[in-house]
């Protein structure tokens, strides 16, 4: 058995082209992706802030004047009195949409801890975004203030679309910015809904003119502090920070060990073609022993890949591989999972008597697993459907388990990931056993 394992491993290591592909490629991709997507990861030890540029496409005074004219037309049309004051500078001083957005919302003392903004023109904003000086641009549309007044002080509803444009390398900040802007819109919408309820119910008991006169007091009552946002910022000091170099070192290691699984099928078919497989069986070596030898060959190859990438990332990027016992545990389990997949491919190869299974796995399926498992982009950046499936893949479960270990979590927190890996191993071996059961007819000599 040992001789079979050593023979297969020696044959594997002698193929310089394949060896370079499975050893050097993850190193190269780790380096490229780590630098390219570093903007998606916050620097360790830095104060977590989001810088945005705000573009005001509206004119405050013009919008206020437009609404004053609109209010005058409403008075004439419906014979009602809409007295919102005559002092242009103090127009709607108690309910100013611009003041609400910049002072009450973004100017909130707790909001300022995580978000800083710069008001600029659209061209200036795009220049800042391109240089990564800001992560997002927030565009307040034309007639923003006018439409906000219409929505608040009348029964009409105008669309107010605040646009968020973000840098593709800063996905996390984009998501947070979008959530913050969405929260603001929800708050403003709640004021509009409250106003509509006021109109509907008050009109049942009062003349329309009295309802309108009382509207200002009602809006002031609910809208003086409409953006009371409280943000609880906590630091989890006991958790280690995961930067882009750490993430992609683990991601590429979890992905590229899968390529070792494809070699089992190729090797066993090559041996069947040159009759090495049958000569071994003629000496009393059973098919189970041959496949077991391939299993350990693939396991050792994946283990070598993992160790090489751990050493490289340690010295090249200074990654601290903490909790070595758990790292070794997940490394061994992930390599067993790879070898189990390899046995399944061997079974398919023996049944089909062709390279199709191993080629399809190496050329297509590994890339798909890499995408859905978070090896190319963090799972948080992918749709929820992909995320839910990705954590169940062998490389996805391996990646997430490694990350938890490096963050500082213990055995209890990584148990779900370990169980998924064990489940993958069990399923692959079970399917392999079913395919190989009673397959003596597949052991006939193959003609090249």
CATH code of the domain containing 154: 3.40.1710
Query: What's the CA angle centered on 20, arms 17 and 24, to 5 degrees?
Result: 160
399-438: per-residue pLDDT in tens? 999 999 998 889 999 999 999 999 999 999 999 999 888 6
151 and 197 in a single domain? The answer is yes
Q: What is the mean pLDDT of residues 193-221?
A: 59
CB atoms within 10 A of CB 233: 8
Q: How many domains does the chain have?
A: 2
178 and 291 in a single domain? The answer is no
Q: Assess contact for 215 and 202: CB atoms under 8 A.
A: no
User: Higher confidence at residue 397 or residue 439?
Assistant: 397
77 and 202 in a single domain? The answer is yes
Tell me if 228 is assigned to some domain: no
205 and 260 in a single domain? The answer is no
What is the token pair recorded at 173? 């900040």
φ, ψ at 102 (rounded to 5°): -85, -35
Q: What is the mean pLDDT of residues 376-405?
A: 89
Which of 223, 256, 279 is a domain's end point? 223
User: Higher confidence at residue 398 or residue 97?
Assistant: 398
pLDDT at 228: 43
Which of 159, 191, 223 is a domain's end point? 223
287 and 433 in a single domain? The answer is yes
Q: Assess contact for 338 and 261: CB atoms under 8 A.
A: yes
84 and 205 in a single domain? The answer is yes
23 and 91 in a single domain? The answer is no
- Whether 78 has a pLDDT exceeding 80, the answer reads no
Q: b or e along 240-268 (b: 16 or more beta carbons within 10 Å of the residue's beta carbon)?
A: bebbbbbbbbbbbbbbbbbbbbbbbbbbb
259-278: per-residue pLDDT in tens? 888 887 887 888 778 777 77
390 and 255 in a single domain? The answer is yes
Tell me if 332 is assigned to some domain: yes
Q: How confident is the model at residue 140 (pLDDT cuts 50, 70, 90)?
A: very high
Q: Which residues contact 411 (CB under 8 A, 6 or more apart)?
A: 326
pLDDT at 340: 95
Tell me if 189 is assigned to some domain: yes
298 and 219 in a single domain? The answer is no
pLDDT at 196: 60
Q: Assess contact for 54 and 140: CB atoms under 8 A.
A: yes
Tell me if 351 is assigned to some domain: yes
Tell me if 376 is assigned to some domain: yes
- Give the relative orientation of helices 287-317 and 244-256 as an angle to the nearest 10 degrees: 170
The Cβ-side half-sphere exposure at 12, using a 13 Å CA radius, reads 30
Q: Assess contact for 386 and 372: CB atoms under 8 A.
A: yes
What is the token pair recorded at 37? 């997507």
- Whether 226 has a pLDDT exceeding 50, the answer reads no
Tell me the pLDDT of the chain averaged across its residues: 79
Selection from 207, 224, 213 nearest residue 84 by Cα: 213
Which of 223, 254, 270 is a domain's end point? 223
391 and 251 in a single domain? The answer is yes
Q: How confident is the model at residue 229 (pLDDT cuts 50, 70, 90)?
A: very low
- Whether 281 has a pLDDT exceeding 70, the answer reads yes
Strand order in the sheet with 163-166: 115-119, 50-56, 136-140, 163-166
Q: Which residues contact 225 (CB under 8 A, 6 or more apart)?
A: 104
Give the 3-state secondary structure of the chain: CHHHHHHHHHHHHHCHHHHHHHHHHHHHHHHHHHHHCHHHCCCCCCCCCEEEEEEECCCHHHHHHHHHHHHHHHHHHHCCCCCCCCCHHHCCCCCCHHHHHHHHHCCCCCHHHCEEEEECCHHHHHHHHHCCCCCEEEEECCCHHHHHHHHHHCCCCCCCCCEEEECCCCHHHHHHHHHHHHHHHHHHHHHHHHHHHHHHHHCCCCCHHHHHHHHHHHHHHHHCCCCCCCCCCCCCCCCCCCCHHHHHHHHHHHHHCCHHHHHHHHHHHHHHHCCHHHHHHHCCCCHHHHHHHHHHHHHHHHHHHHHHHHHHHHHHHCCCCCCHHHHHHHHHHHHHHHHHHHHHHHHHHHHHCCCHHHHHHHHHHHHHHHHHCCCCCCHHHCCHHHHHHHCCCHHHHHHHHHHHHHHCCCHHHHHHHHHHHHHHHHHHHHHHHHHHCCCHHHHCCCCC
8 and 76 in a single domain? The answer is no
φ, ψ at 54 (rounded to 5°): -115, 125
What is the token pair recorded at 56? 């005001």
User: Higher confidence at residue 113 or residue 126?
Assistant: 126
- Whether 192 has a pLDDT exceeding 80, the answer reads no
pLDDT at 430: 94
Tell me if 394 is assigned to some domain: yes
**Euclidean distance between the first and final Cα of the chain, in Å?**
27
Q: Assess contact for 282 and 445: CB atoms under 8 A.
A: no
Q: What is the mean pLDDT of residues 13-35?
A: 75
Q: b or e along 64-74 (b: 16 or more beta carbons within 10 Å of the residue's beta carbon)?
A: bebbbebbeeb
User: Higher confidence at residue 245 or residue 170?
Assistant: 245
Tell me if 377 is assigned to some domain: yes
87-99: per-residue pLDDT in tens? 444 556 666 888 8
Tell me if 209 is assigned to some domain: yes
Range of the domain at 216: 50-223
Q: Is 361 exposed, middle or buried (0-12, 13-18, 19+ CB in 10 A)?
A: buried
C-alpha–C-alpha distance, residues 62 and 96, integer Å: 14
C-alpha–C-alpha distance, residues 203 and 165, integer Å: 42
313 and 280 in a single domain? The answer is yes
């Amino acid at each position: 058995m040992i001789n079979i394992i050593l023979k297969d491993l020696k044959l594997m290591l002698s193929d310089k082209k394949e060896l370079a592909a499975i050893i050097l490629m993850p190193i190269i991709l780790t380096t490229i992706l780590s630098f390219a997507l570093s903007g998606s990861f916050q620097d360790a030890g830095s104060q977590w802030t989001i810088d945005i540029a705000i573009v005001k496409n509206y004119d405050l005074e013009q919008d206020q004047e437009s609404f004053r004219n609109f209010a005058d037309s409403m008075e004439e049309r419906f014979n009602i009195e809409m007295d919102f004051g005559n002092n242009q500078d103090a127009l709607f001083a108690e309910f100013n949409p611009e003041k609400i957005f910049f002072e009450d919302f973004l100017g909130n003392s707790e909001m300022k801890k995580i978000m800083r903004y710069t008001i600029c023109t659209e061209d200036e904003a795009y220049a800042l975004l391109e240089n990564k000086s800001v992560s997002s641009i927030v565009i307040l549309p034309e007639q923003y203030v006018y439409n906000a007044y219409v929505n608040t002080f009348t029964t009409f509803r105008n669309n107010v679309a605040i646009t968020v444009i973000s840098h593709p390398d800063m996905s996390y900040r984009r998501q947070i910015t979008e959530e913050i802007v969405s929260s603001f819109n929800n708050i403003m919408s709640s004021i509009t809904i409250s106003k509509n309820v006021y109109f509907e119910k008050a009109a049942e008991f009062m003349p329309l003119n009295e309802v309108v006169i009382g509207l200002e007091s009602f809006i002031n009552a609910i809208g003086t502090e409409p953006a009371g946002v409280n943000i609880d910022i906590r630091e989890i000091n006991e958790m280690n920070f995961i930067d882009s170099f750490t993430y992609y070192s683990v991601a590429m290691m979890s992905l590229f060990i899968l390529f070792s699984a494809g070699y089992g099928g190729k090797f066993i078919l090559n041996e069947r073609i040159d009759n090495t497989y049958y000569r071994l069986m003629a000496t009393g070596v059973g098919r189970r022993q041959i496949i077991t030898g391939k299993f350990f060959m693939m396991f050792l190859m994946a283990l070598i890949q993992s160790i090489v990438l751990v050493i490289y990332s340690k010295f090249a990027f200074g990654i601290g591989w903490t909790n070595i016992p758990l790292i070794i545990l997940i490394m061994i389990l992930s390599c067993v999972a790879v070898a189990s997949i390899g046995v399944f491919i061997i079974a398919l190869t023996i049944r089909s008597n062709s390279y199709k299974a191993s080629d399809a796995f190496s050329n297509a399926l590994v890339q798909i697993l890499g995408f859905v498992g978070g090896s190319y982009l963090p799972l948080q950046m992918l749709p929820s459907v992909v995320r839910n499936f990705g954590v169940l893949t062998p490389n996805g479960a391996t990646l997430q388990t490694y990350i938890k270990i490096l963050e500082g979590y213990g055995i209890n927190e990584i148990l779900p990931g370990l169980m998924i890996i064990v489940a993958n191993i069990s399923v692959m071996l079970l399917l392999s056993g079913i395919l190989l059961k009673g397959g003596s007819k597949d052991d006939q000599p193959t003609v090249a």
